[in-house]
Chains A and B, each alone.
Chain A
Amino acid sequence: MEARIEQTGERKEFSFSGSVAAMLNVLGVTASTVLVVRNGELLTSDDPVGDDDTVDVLSVVSGG
């Protein structure tokens, strides 16, 4: 799957299947500081994501 990390501008490609919470763990991202979006839809921590998915990891904190 592919994760686009807004805060760093990185694109990470990796093999994964599991919950959003587990994916954020793999990515080393603090869950409370981000929202995860797939095809414009907001995901919750228990939503499953897998290898066919591209997700955006949006940073909650930004200036202003």
Chain B
Amino acid sequence: MNCHCGLKAVFEHPTLCKEHFCSYVEDAVLEGVRREFPEALTAGSDVVVGVACSGGKDSTVLLSVLHKLDIAVIALAIDEGIPGYRDVTLTFLQEFCATRGITLQVRVAPRPLSTLTTLLGKSPCTVCGIFRRHLLNEGGPGISCIATGHNLDDELQSMLLNVALGQSEQNARLLPRKYSALKRIKPLRMVAEKAILAYAVLTGITPPYIECPHASGSLRWSIRDLMTALEEQEPGAKLRLHAFLEEERVNDGPAALSPVGHGICAQCGQPSSQESCAYCEAMREVMAHG
């Protein structure tokens, strides 16, 4: 199987050689930045993109490509205190950033995740989400926007999840938008997960293969397996489904993004539908219990 240039292909759909495939991914990231945060591409701008890094392949590839494109980046990591998982991914991230001269900032949750879930009586993923969101939204000195590594498969799963839960109007809310003072962008959201892993392999990015111990058994998991089965039976179906939902949410965009009913937390100033946000509520509990 060959690339259009005649060299041996390293990837299928699109069928490209190593050089053309790497350019394809890098161009997609550049296009993503142009679409979602063009300020970052203005020559001489003092924009710094904070990349939300998990130590997994998606956010690490995003960090690497933005850095390669000469966009100023800071790697932001959250340590939620998940033993056997977060410590492993943070070690990888520290080494990755050190060898490339990228600044890494690690925010630590106030208590280990297991303590927080017991204290708050909520599921690990809910609690993790509350703290991650808040700590990332805080940004940091000089950070102009937050980029996350969500890929095409993540986005498709999230959109289908909303459809399945009868809240498809939420799909437009997943689009890049301003979150408190900082805009959230997803430069990889049009790139398939498989292409991101291939890019990682081709450029020598080797994140540890490790899954969050809390990830399995969720509804998202089931949707992911369904998509795999669908794609196996009808190749291209996943992309067509994504394109359909993408168009729908972009058309929905302006209405769904209206600020009505979307307030600000009185304590921290981050977005909240209540007077006090989930993070500030959680922190009150944490403080009350020492």
Contact = CB atoms under 8 A, between A and B. Distances in A.
A64 B212 contact: yes
Nearest to B54: A64
B60 to A, nearest CB: 10
Contacts of A7: 209
Nearest to A7: B209
B184 interface: no
A60 B193 contact: yes
A35 B198 contact: yes
Interface residues of A, number: 22
A12 B52 CA distance: 37
Nearest to B11: A42
Most chain A beta-carbon neighbours within 10 Å: one of B54, B201, B212:
B201
Contacts of A47: 1
Given A41-B10, A59-B209, A30 B1 contact: no
Contacts of A58: 197, 201, 209
Nearest to B149: A64
Most chain B beta-carbon neighbours within 10 Å: one of A33, A58, A62:
A62
A33 B238 CA distance: 13
A52 interface: no
B232 A63 contact: no
B87 interface: no
A62 B198 contact: no
Contacts of B18: 42
Contacts of A61: 153, 193, 224
Contacts of B11: 42, 44
A17 interface: no
Contact of B232 (A30, A60, A62, A64): A30
A46 interface: yes
A62 to B, nearest CB: 6
Contacts of B57: 62
A32 B194 contact: yes
Contact of B55 (A30, A33, A42, A64): A64
A33 B56 contact: no
B1 A44 contact: yes
Contacts of A33: 228
Interface in B233-271: 235
Contacts of B232: 30-32
Interface of B: 1, 9-12, 15, 18, 54-59, 89, 149, 153, 193-194, 197-198, 201-202, 209-212, 215, 224, 228, 231-232, 235
